[in-house]
Structure 1
Amino acid sequence: MRRSLLTRARTRHRLHGSNLLSQSTTEGLKVGADTYSSAIADAQNYMNWVIDQFRPYLKGAILEVGFGHGLYSRVLGELGDYCGVDHDRESVERAAKAMPDRKFAICDILVRDQLSSLFPQGVDAVFTINVLEHIEDDATAVANLVQVLKPGGHLLISVPALMLLYNDLDRLAGHCRRYTTARLAKLLADQPVELVRLNYFNPIGGLGWLANRLKRHQSLNDSAVNGQIALFDKYAVPLSRALDPLSRSFFGQSVTCIARRL
């Protein structure tokens, strides 16, 4: 029986033996738990909502770029032939230990050869949530992710929205920017893709992020920050889901994008 694409990926690039790390261009970026509040890993209602935005396109060979807390990894592994990549060795090793039934590999997405070596036959879906905002050269990152897609595959992106909302939490997480739909569309304009959907997402979360501009934050793991996340997930997600269709064209905490590879 022919081995799966992701089994080959893991065989070619063992977690402790990737010789591609010498080409890394992402040194100095914040990594792992330094980029998010710990409570987000328990925000199951919100995570389910995010997955629901992309679920019809999550099938076949699925590549997750920047798996963070790993909650998406657990779900995506049930939907297709999953592999998660990150440029940070410790994050990859930690994820592989926590989820031995999932595939993980070290990869710097700014180096196209690393992606093509890991996935020589391409993938059906690239899923990347809150990653591009950490990368100064986001144009190269997007171009490389498009190139690893098979024709007809889908690039699934969610990034923080609107510089109006930028606050201490963005700075602490290492965000270079927040996005508009226009900026993300411009990144994809010269790529061999067609936009399936591009919109703002999560209006109540956006209002909460705006309110956080009024307060100084010293840590992503401040009890007040984690408390906000827990309350939002428990009580506000249903309301935000209901309002989302009304605000997609102009406001939200995030920008979500679905683009099909030509």
Structure 2
Amino acid sequence: MATLEAKNFWFCSRNHLLLWALGRYFPQAQNFLEIGCGTGFVLAGIEKAFPKLTLSGSEIFSTGLAFAAQRLSKADLFQMDACKIPFEEEFNVIGAFDVLEHIKEDRIVLAEMYRATKPGGGILLTVPQHPWLWSQADDYAHHVRRYRAQELKTKVQRAGFKIVRMTSFVSLLLPLMLLSRSQQQRPQLNYDPLSELRISGLANSILGKVLDFERAAIRLGMSFPLGGSLLLIAKK
């Protein structure tokens, strides 16, 4: 992942979307915590775009933190269980990007995020969407669920947050995604989980341009009802 995500259209497009959302909805934020920061790809983008922001990154797997430390120059990195966040009203913004779907007790995580967020602050979330897109890729990634929009909305609200924006993304590529996932319904003995990330430079560029257009529409206020993923912004 660490060698592929920096050039892959999906990861780069998601980063651009998150950077826009952070600046648009939390312009006064002074600090930011990412839960499940993995190899630090998102945090590295935030560090470059918002140099005055105090950054922290947590990860339950220490191996990921070693990669993150190589990418980041000033973020505070530590190992943490998202179900037991050791902070109280500490952060202006907390992000969890394609993390909640791995955790059975997602309600506990959202409650912990609420407790660790400062009043007036909020959260940024991305999760995979639509149970009908479930495939071998989800099994391999140890996903517990793919979310329905209403399910995520209800869980976030019950944690105490007020939702300010919610939209699907990777929406314009949904037909291609559905085709790809339909081919993975039956388990493959030699399944390669990274095969979707290894695409030609031309295809990668074209798909990236499509998501650039989609992101422009989201920035203008359009919310997509369907898509491979969900973006949710909520405040405390």
Q: TM-score range by the shorter chain?
A: 0.7 to 0.9
Listed one character per residue, the Cα deviations across residues 158-180 of structure 1 (whole Å, up to 9, x for unaligned) are 10011121111111111111112
**Aligned partners of 1:196, 1:240: CA distance in 2, in Å?**
22
Aligned to 2:174: 206
Is the partner of 1:226 in helix, strand or coil? coil
Is the counterpart of residue 192 in structure 1 residue 160 in structure 2? yes
- Paired residue for 2:141? 173
Counterpart secondary structure, 1:77: helix
Structure 1 residues 242 and 91, CA, compared in 2 at 3 Å: closer, same or farther?
closer
Structure 1 residues without counterparts, runs of 5 or longer:
1-32
Residue 237 in 1 paired to residue 208 in 2? Answer: yes
Tell me by how many angstroms 1:93 deviates.
3.4
Say whether 1:101 aligns with 2:66: no
Bigger helix share: 1
Aligned residues between the structures: 219
Are the structure 2 counterparts of residues 168 and 82 from structure 1 closer, same or farther at C-alpha, using a change threshold of 3 Å? same
The equivalent residue for 1:160 is: 128
SS of the equivalent of 1:150 reads strand
Q: How many angstroms apart in 2 are the aligned matches of 1:229 and 1:220?
A: 17
Give yes or no for the alignment of 1:146 onto 2:114.
yes
Structure 1 distance, partners of 2:200, 2:229, is 15
Give 4+ residue runs of structure 1 displaced > 6 Å after superposition: none
Give the drift of 1:62.
0.4
TM-score (norm 2): 0.82
1:126 is matched with which residue: 94, 114, 128?
94
Q: Deviations over 1:17-65 (max 9, x none)?
A: xxxxxxxxxxxxxxxx5xxx85323236412234223332263110011
User: What residue identity is the alignment partner of 1:137?
Assistant: E
Other-structure match for 2:33? 63
TM superposition shift of 1:87: 1.1
1:260 matched to 2:235 = yes
Percent same amino acid among aligned pairs? 19
The aligned residue for residue 74 of structure 1 is 44
Q: How does 1:221-236 map to 2 (within 5 A)?
A: 221-222=194-195, 225-228=196-199, 233-236=204-207
Q: TM-score, normalised by structure 1?
A: 0.74
Q: For structure 2, which runs of at least 5 residues remain unmatched after alignment?
A: none
CA RMSD in angstroms, aligned pairs only = 2.5
